[in-house]
Amino acid sequence: MAKVALSFEQKKAHRLKYIKGWVVAQMKVTGKTQKDVGDALGLTQGTISTMLAIPDGRKKDGRRINPDPLSVGQMLTLFELFGTEAEERQKLLTL
């Protein structure tokens, strides 16, 4: 398969989807809910739902989705909440 050069925006979109997917997967594995994540971050369940939404370029419903919703500090809090290993933390923080 030929390698394709991705633009900066395409790389950023891929990283964003990966991180959001990781959070959702960790929630399922650990049995945590959006409310649990919101409580850990000091946010509402609705805000967490919006933060984890994946933008769909085909939809034109006017919803604005934050392109980079999680700060490094929030990611560190989630690592503690989910009991993430150091190796995986390093991988996620250097994407």
pLDDT of residue 16: 83
C-alpha 42/C-alpha 9 separation (Å) is 29
Specify the pTM. Answer: 0.79
Structural domains of the chain, with CATH: 8-56+66-93 (1.10.260)
pLDDT of residue 15: 83
Return the closest-CA partner of residue 68 out of 15, 5, 27, 28: 15
Where residue 83 falls (left for φ over 0; alpha for ψ -120 to 50; beta otherwise) is: left
Q: What does pLDDT average to in each consecutive run of 10 residues of the chain (95 residues)?
A: 72 83 95 96 92 70 64 93 94 85
pLDDT of residue 6: 73
pLDDT of residue 24: 94
- Angle in degrees, 0-180, between the axes of helices 45-52 and 34-41, rounded to the nearest 10: 100
Return the closest-CA partner of residue 22 out of 94, 82, 86: 82
**Number of residues that this document lists for the chain:** 95
pLDDT of residue 8: 75
